[in-house]
Structure 1
Amino acid sequence: MTLRLKLMLGLVALTATGLILTIVATVVALRGYLVDRVDVRLRAVEQVARLPLAAVLAGAPTGSRPVLERAIAPTDYVVEARRTDGEILRVAGPADRSPPLLAEIATGKATGEITGETTGTTAPPADGTPFTVTHSGERYRAVLDHVPGGEVLIAQPLATVRDTLRRLVVAAAVAALVVLAAIATLAWLLLTRGLRPLRVVASTASAIAAGDLSRRVPEGPPRSETGQLSRALNIMLGQIQAAFTARVASQNNLRRFAADASHELRTPLTSIRGYVDLLRAGMVPPAETDDTLRRVAEETARMQTLVDDLLYLAHLDELRPRDRVDVDLVTIAEDAAANLRAVDPGRPVTVEVEAGPEAGRHVLGDPDALRQLLGNLLTNARVHTPAGTTVTVRVTGWDAATPAQDRAAVLAVEDGGPGMPPEVARHVFDRFYRAAGSRARGRSGSGLGLSIVAATAAAHGGRAEVSSTPEGGTTFRVYLPGGVSDQTPADQA
């Protein structure tokens, strides 16, 4: 059974219960009202017929009966009198009724109810008090009164009341069925419309299960239950898609790592194996043995450097949480510039700091990783520019007035070298990318130096960019989120 059908049946059941209770209450109230009206008429008839009936009981001639019948209109009343000697006179009522109602009450064959309650006895109520009796399957409302010479019973059948109530029940039942049918139809239409978002959710879930992770549930009004459900589902789907994308990216990085490693390690391994085979076969003259071993050592060192770079990139691809501390970019820039001067004393290297608050030059990061990042950029500038080319390290801090989420410090390395064409600049951060021309080799010729720069920037929540022209001049910029953590050093430890 669907949720829509359950809700509709529940609503119809509740409505039917309410209608039944309403009909019962209406019937009870109307029955009481009609019986009260009968009682009023009975008392009126009693007052009119009291004296004539007393005269009949006192021995008046029977010719007075027509006078009584005219006085006791309408004629559907049952009027009976009983003398003290037990004789019962039927004054008004159906002539074919036998035995008289008074006789039935006296013998206990008529059940009695006083004001709606069953007495369980034949004792009549007080004079002038209406009560209900059942005689020969017919219910009567009666008044018993003691007069000189005997007692008088005036009764009226409750068939009219019964018929009225029966017609009311039939009419109410028909109306209730019509109302229930209308409510069921409206409930079905409204529930169909109201549960439409749930069907959309179900279809979206089916599409996602089939592999379409980009599907989202249309969001309804934010205060409605379906709107809140849709929003929560979209958030959950976004997280699932992000996790799945990260998983796919991790698998792709692993495959690329394995492919790149096997490709790049093939050349040094082939060289080492060739030299070792020559040495084992005795094909290398003794005078060239040291030179051959030196080449084996160089290829081994090159392979070791390549493996270290690949492992470091794999570590950055995992995006593991790293211990972040407050890092002063100016200090790192000055240290990197000093290292370049030591390696290439003849190259002019300057460090420039843009004007701004001192705090704007601080970021949260891994100092060792940022030192390697800047070292790779300076090594790239040293290797790919002629000797004596000026290299400038520029640090631009973030402005304190900038919103926290938009703060970013910029670490830039500018050189006056030959530059690079746009097609090379687009791939300069790709792993193992080597372009032909003056900027053909990265650090140690592996093509991983700038890839490490881009991966380190991404691991810090930033990015790396390059701008260059073939006419000359290349600038690498690394954007790092600015700001210092509110935690104390003790907390960070």
Structure 2
Amino acid sequence: MTLNARLLTGLLAVTFTGLAIMGLVSALVLHGYLMHRVDEQLQGTRDRAISRLLRPGLPEQGAAPPQFVVLAIGPTGRVRVLSGDQPSPAQAVAEVEKLGQDELSNRARTLEPFSLPGLRAVARPWRNGIVVVASPLNEIHSAVRNLVLSEIATGALLLAVLLVLGRRLIGRGLLPLDRMAATAHDITAGGDLRARMPDPGPRTEAARLAAAINVMLDRIEQAFWARSRSEARVREFAADASHELRTPLTTIQGYAELYRHGALGPGELPDAMRRIEDEASRMNKLVTDLLELARLDREASLHPAPTDLVPLARDAIADATAADPDRPVTLDAPDSLIATVDEPRIRQVLANLLANVRTHTPPGTPATIRLAPGLIEVTDKGPGMPPDDAARAFERFHRTDQNSPGAGLGLPIVAAIAAAHGGRADLLSTPSKGTTVRITYAHPSHSG
């Protein structure tokens, strides 16, 4: 059953129940009111009948009004009719005889109205007998029946009108949901994640639902885009890695074939072996970097411990100075800076950043390492980077200079180490004004 049908069925059921309860209550109230009025009339007619019997009036005056039956029951139980033929006294006589003398005497002593089948009656002692005044309940039953029938007809008409109007109103109210269902079907069938739920109007439940679904669709679209981008990067990474590995392997294979065919003379063999060794070292470094990135993708590879970063920076400056004595490298840091980090990884970060400065800036370009709580920065005064290269600096295998000796994995390793420490790596570069690589980490630090 559809939601429209369920709502309409529920509306009709509630309305029918309400009408039934109202009809029942009104019928009971009307029946009680009419019975109370009949009881009052019976008591008044009973007293009037006794008065007429004690002081008979004119011949045309009867013992009671025409709608009542007056009976006199003698000591022997004989029933005598004191009223006229209308209404017919036969039923009243029969019911009184069935009631019995003793029960009738008890009713007469209480002076309260009582019910007989199809009749309402009241009794009172009179001389040696009992006077009973009874009234048929046909009119009361007819009035109540007419009320019930009119309520049934009115209720049926109301339910029919409610069925027509309710179906239209509920259909209009559920129209936004139908549109949302159609949009969801289109998204499922066509796969167009750019489709959005139509706006059903402000400040409605359907509007809130549409807004929530649109937010969900935005996130799903972003997730699919991120997955697609990730898959593209994986394919690009595999292609780049294959290319980087193919180059040294091709060189090694070429020298091996030359040697096998005797094309290398005695004087050329040492140079060929040197080239083979260089390419093998390059391939070994590339594989090592790839393994390093794979390990950094697992947070479990870190072993953080409280570490003073200042000695690590001084060691990195010493190593850089030994490799390039003409390049000044300074340290901007407090006397001590304790941070919970993985010491070998931080050493690797500093070494990679200073190696980048040495590789991509002219000789003699100064560099500075700055340490602060939660922050590591390496700044150089070199030529800087174009905005496009700066935006892609942390992409794996991306190189600004294709002739540079590296494989384009130094900065990606730095970014992976920063991420593994709960932080991030950012590169700020302006052409002709230098470059700053900023590393943040989330572990608490204390400076001394």
Within the candidate set 289, 309, 326, 1:346 is matched to: 326
Displacement of 1:7: 3.7
Amino acid paired to 2:406: G
Aligned length: 440
Match in the other structure for 1:105: 96
RMSD: 4.3
Deviation at 1:37, TM superposition (A): 1.3
Distance in 2, matches of 1:50 and 1:475, equals: 125
Report the Cα distance in structure 2 between the residues aligned to 1:72 and 1:418, rounded to whole angstroms: 128
Q: Could you tell me how far apart the structure 1 residues matched to 2:281 and 2:236 are?
A: 23
Q: d(CA) in 2 for partners of 1:26 and 1:35?
A: 14
Alpha-carbon distance in structure 2 between the residues aligned to 1:298 and 1:331 = 33
Equivalent in the alignment of 2:127:
148
Partner letter of residue 437 of structure 2?
A: R
CA–CA separation in structure 2 for the residues paired with 1:147 and 1:4: 71
Secondary structure, aligned partner of 2:107: coil
Residues 420 and 10 of structure 1: is their aligned pair in 2 closer, same or farther, counting only changes over 3 Å? Answer: closer
Indicate which of 356, 360, 363 corresponds to 1:387: 363
Partner of 1:72: 64
Given candidates 140, 152, 167, the residue that maps to 1:161 is: 140
Change (3 A) 1:274 1:238: same
Is the Cα contact below 8 Å between 2:367 and 2:379 reproduced in 1?
yes
Equivalent of 1:432 in 384, 389, 397: 397
Cα displacement (A) at 1:234: 7.5
Quick check: 1:257–1:314 contact (8 Å CA) kept in 2?
no
Q: Note if contact 2:255-2:272 (Cα within 8 Å) is conserved in structure 1.
A: yes
Residue type at the aligned position of 2:375? A
Counterparts of residues 52-451 of structure 1 (less than 5 Å): 52-53=52-53, 66-69=59-62, 72-73=64-65, 75-82=66-73, 89-94=80-85, 97=88, 99=90, 101-103=92-94, 105-106=96-97, 108=98, 123-124=103-104, 125-127=106-108, 128-134=111-117, 139-148=118-127, 150-177=129-156, 180=159, 202=181, 206=185, 209=188, 211-212=191-192, 244=224, 247-316=227-296, 322-326=302-306, 328-353=308-333, 365-395=341-371, 397=372, 409-415=375-381, 417-422=382-387, 424-435=389-400, 441-442=403-404, 444-451=405-412
Q: Report if the CA contact (8 A) 1:217-1:233 is conserved.
A: yes
CA distance in 2, matches of 1:198, 1:230: 9
CA distance in 1, matches of 2:176, 2:343: 51
Secondary structure of the residue that 1:445 maps to in structure 2?
coil
For 2:389 and 2:230, locate their aligned partners in 1 and report how far apart those are by CA, in whole Å: 26
Q: Is the 8 A contact 1:54 1:147 kept in 2?
A: no
Structure 1 residues 343-363: Cα deviation after superposition (integer angstroms, max 9, x where no partner): 12232221123x8x97xx666
Contact (CA 8 Å) 1:425, 1:467: kept in 2 or not?
A: yes
Gap change, CA 1:384 and 1:47, over 3 Å in 2 = closer
Q: 1:271–1:299: 8 Å Cα contact kept in structure 2?
A: yes
- 1:484 Cα deviation from its structure 2 partner: 0.5
- Tell me how far apart the structure 2 counterparts of residues 448 and 479 of structure 1 sit (CA, whole Å): 16
Distance 2:445 2:187 in 1: 39
Match of 1:25 in 2: 25
Task: Report the TM-score, using the length of structure 1 for normalisation.
Answer: 0.72
Counterparts of 2:67 and 2:227, CA distance in 1:
95
Give the 3-state SS of the residue equivalent to 2:288 in structure 1.
helix
Q: CA deviation at 1:41?
A: 1.0
User: 2:414 is aligned with what amino acid?
Assistant: V
1:194-218, Cα deviation, whole Å (9 max, x unpaired): 7677667656654664545567779
Gaps of 5+ in 1: 57-63, 113-118, 399-407, 487-493
Secondary structure at 2:59's aligned position in 1? helix
Once the two structures are superposed, residues 101-123 of structure 1 have per-residue CA deviations (whole angstroms, 9 ceiling, x without a partner) of: 324532x3xxx7xxxxxx9x994
- Inter-CA distance 432–51: structure 2 relative to 1 (3 Å threshold): closer
1:453 is aligned to 414
Report percent identity of matched pairs.
39
- Can you list the C-alpha shifts for 1:364-391, whole angstroms capped at 9, x where unaligned? 5443333223222211222233433322
Q: Secondary structure at the match of 1:126?
A: helix
Gaps of 5+ in 2: none
- Assess if the C-alpha contact under 8 Å between 1:352 and 1:394 holds in 2: yes
How far apart, in 2, do the equivalents of 1:72 and 1:258 lie?
116
2:352, 2:414 within 8 Å by CA — same for their partners in 1?
Answer: yes
- What is the letter of the counterpart of residue 377 of structure 2? L
**Would you say the 8 A contact 2:92–2:119 is kept in 1?**
no
Shift of 1:82: 4.8
> What is the rounded CA distance, in whole Å, between the counterparts of 2:347 and 2:59 in structure 1?
131
Contact 2:321–2:329 (Cα < 8 Å) also in 1? yes
Q: Return the letter of the residue paired with 1:445.
A: G
Relative to 1, partners in 2 of residues 1:282 and 1:103: Cα closer, same or farther, differing over 3 Å? closer
Equivalent pair of 2:385/2:435 in contact (CA under 8 Å)? no
Tell me which residue corresponds to 1:46: 46
Q: 1:350 to 1:207 in 2, by over 3 A?
A: farther
CA contact under 8 A between 1:363 and 1:409: conserved in structure 2? no
